Amino acid sequence: MRQFKIAFFIFISIFIIDQIVKYGFANLGWDANGSVMSLKLAYNYGVAFSMLSFLAEYLKYIQLFIVIIGTIYLLKNRDIFYKYHIPIALLYAGGLSNILDRFTYGAVVDYFYWHYMFEFAIFNFADVMIDLAVVIIIIMQIKESRKQKNI
């Protein structure tokens, strides 16, 4: 139960922060230009690097279906949730926030634009949280694998 409370707090915090920031960019003109990175409103109708943008109208339903399948899996495998509760909370917060964007704005609201020495895709805080979740899961898996080899 403790893990659920921690995960829920992380989820709510990340989700609310992300939605407030996106609202600022989408409705309050929070754009700012910098020499290394700019904060610039962009709408992503696809997924990473605008892939699958031809599915723009259906993508939110596809992604929501994937979240539902993942949730059913976690309900049936609670030990996995308890073990990975922090990255799961980050993953759900970022993923559901981006899905909410699709319902609210018709696309995902992006705003971080790296352009020093090379141009990188425009992304948002939710994307960073999703990436962080994946990195944490990979690190946990590597540590577990090494631990099992030493036994």
Provide φ and ψ at 113, rounded to 5°: -130, 105
The pLDDT score that the predictor gives to residue 151 is 67
Calpha distance 49→57 (Å, rounded): 17
Q: Note whether 51 and 124 are within 8 A (CB).
A: no
pLDDT at 82 (0 to 100): 96
Q: What pLDDT, on a 0 to 100 scale, did the predictor assign at position 106?
A: 94
Q: Which regions of 25-147 does DSSP assign to beta strands (E)?
A: 37-44, 108-114, 122-123
Query: According to the model, what pLDDT value does residue 55 have?
Result: 77
* List of E strands, 10-107: 37-44
Residues (pLDDT < 50) of the chain are: none
- What are the catalytic residues? 110, 127
pLDDT tens-place string over residues 25-57:
999 999 999 999 999 999 999 887 666 777 778
